[in-house]
Amino acid sequence: MQSLSDALRAAVDGRVSWTIGVVLAGALLLQIGVEIFRGLLRAFYDRRQQRATMERLRLQVQEARLRQKDAEKASLVWNGCRKFSVVKKTSECEDVFAFYLKPHDGKPIPAFKPGQYLTFQLDIPGRDKPLVRCYSLSDSPHRSDYYRVTIKKEKAPADRPELPPGAASSFFSDTIKEGDILNVKAPTGHFFLDMARSNPVVLIAGGVGVTPMLSMANAIAASGSKREAWFFFGVRNEQEHIHKAELEKLAAENENIHVHICYSRASAKAQKGRDYQHEGRVSIELLKQLLPSSNFEYYLCGNGAFMKSITDGLELWGVPEKDVYFEAFGPATVKKKATPATAIEVMQQSKLQVTFARSGKTLSWAPSAANLLEFAQAQGVRIDSGCCAGSCGSCLVAIKSGSVDYLKPPDTEPEQGTCLTCICRPKGDLVLDA
Ligand SMILES: Cc1cc2nc3c(=O)[nH]c(=O)nc-3n(C[C@H](O)[C@H](O)[C@H](O)COP(=O)(O)OP(=O)(O)OC[C@H]3O[C@@H](n4cnc5c(N)ncnc54)[C@H](O)[C@@H]3O)c2cc1C
């Protein structure tokens, strides 16, 4: 009996030990499994981290190379005017021509930043002094042997057909031909796309305002970067579709550049899907419908009403003002918000008297005017203008008495006793020789 119970106990003990052994072995295996999994996970994250670090380094090296290239090319910048030959003139659409320019001295030309412009000093027969006008560079800065500008002949205003058409743009369209030589100042301008960065951007253009945007999009394509860009271009119809073939090629060859053409008055000949993508104007509703979010940097160029409607819409959509950049081809109609003047300041400013001596007009200063040039033009006093950014010097006027406040430092300090009217306002009562 004794031996039977001993045998049973031994059997139970054996089973328990076996079970414990199995459980222990299982636990050990599980532990090993967990350790292996952890090791694999760590290796995976390390690799990912390494890849991210390598990518960051690659971008930093690329950025440093680009900045070095820019610095090298900047040393080629010239002072004053340099002679350029028109090597090609092409008709881009109704009243719009592209001009390809090479330096007459055959020496290298500096790179520019996409969005910058050239300043021309034009000797137009019948005028007593050269006419200064700015035109945006419309091709990629990677084309290192020529510059291209695209110019629209400006018609007389619709409500004043008796006036002559634009002087400089007509001269370019009607007179300038291949082989002609032009006086050109070096590329400049503060409205440009920083090519060392890779953040996503939205380029929005109306009419001939497409020129700086085309340069930006061409620069992204030519750099080979995968930077995301959305390009919205609004025109009336195919007759105004500037650089149509080039835009179509850009869209077809670059999946990171999404080109959307809007026709507001498409003709019966135009085909949606082939010539254009959307009926109507470029609008904030269209942007909201197509963009994955509002989280982009926005670059705008077009007429005043167009830019105002888009900038207002972007503000309502919650896009910070610092992410919106724009260029006006004439007096600015969109203004970056300044600290609002107090009621007392506005009252004091409106008491200031501005006299345009040659025109025989004395007027009360309008505190809402952006600058003296805009004020003069609104009062029918004609002052020459070019860049409207204080760099080309066309709007320089002599001060007979009084002084001015600059809204931004001029690119080149004007001579004593003169002011660049496009970037200043009166400091007190002022008499100008205009
Ligand atoms: C930075 C910048 C970049 C630019 N880039 C481009 C570009 O890429 N492409 C482009 O095409 N343009 C561009 N422009 C615009 C360009 O510089 C000129 O302003 C434009 O070509 C018109 O100049 P204009 O001499 O032909 O016209 P203006 O002779 O200056 O005439 C302008 C308008 O005034 C009218 N006018 C004529 N006489 C009178 C009068 N007595 N009273 C009232 N009105 C009158 C004309 O009919 C015309 O409609 C740019 C401008 C800037 C500032």
Q: What is the pLDDT of residues 19-78, one digit of tens each?
A: 888 899 999 999 999 999 999 999 999 999 999 898 888 878 877 777 777 666 667 889
Name the average pLDDT for the chain. 91
Containing domain of residue 413, as a range?
343-432
Q: Provide the token pair at 182.
A: 């032009």
Domain co-membership, 208 together with 309: yes
* Backbone CA torsion sign across 222, 257, 58, 141: positive
Beta strands in 344-432 (DSSP E): 353-356, 361-364, 396-401, 404-406, 418-420, 424-426, 430-432
Answer yes or no: is 269 within a domain: yes
Answer yes or no: is 336 within a domain: no
Ligand 1 centroid to 386 CA: how many Å?
Answer: 8
Cβ atoms of residues 130 and 393 within 8 Å: no
Domain co-membership, 354 together with 425: yes
pLDDT tens-digit map of 297-323: 999 999 989 999 999 999 999 999 999
Ligand 1 close to Cβ of residue 281 (< 6 A):
no
Write down the pTM of the prediction.
0.79
Question: Could you tell me which residues come within 8 angstroms of residue 282 by beta carbon, excluding any fewer than 6 positions away?
Answer: 204, 206, 232, 233, 234, 260, 262, 306, 310
Q: Give yes or no for residue 146 having a pLDDT over 80.
A: yes
Choose the final residue of a domain: 75, 90, 121.
75
Ligand 1 close to Cβ of residue 334 (< 6 A):
no
Cβ atoms of residues 162 and 174 within 8 Å: no
> Mapping DSSP to helix (H, G, I), strand (E, B) and coil, where does residue 62 land?
helix
Domain co-membership, 215 together with 317: yes
Question: 340 pLDDT band (50/70/90 cuts)?
Answer: low
Ligand 1 close to Cβ of residue 151 (< 6 A):
yes
Choose the final residue of a domain: 286, 303, 327.
327
With 0-12 CB in 10 A as exposed, 13-18 as middle and 19+ as buried, what is 416?
A: exposed
Ligand 1 centroid to 173 CA: how many Å?
Answer: 13
Question: Could you tell me which residues come within 8 angstroms of residue 277 by beta carbon, excluding any fewer than 6 positions away?
Answer: 259, 260, 261, 262
Cβ atoms of residues 376 and 434 within 8 Å: yes
DSSP 147-215: EEEEEEPPPPPTT-TTSPPPHHHHIIIII--TT-EEEEEEEE-S----TT----EEEEEEGGGHHHHHH
pLDDT tens-digit map of 172-200: 999 999 999 999 999 998 899 999 999 99
Distances (CA, A) of 78 to 15, 102, 391, 392, 398: 96, 14, 15, 14, 27
Helix residue ranges per DSSP H, 317-428:
343-350, 372-378
Domain co-membership, 214 together with 316: yes
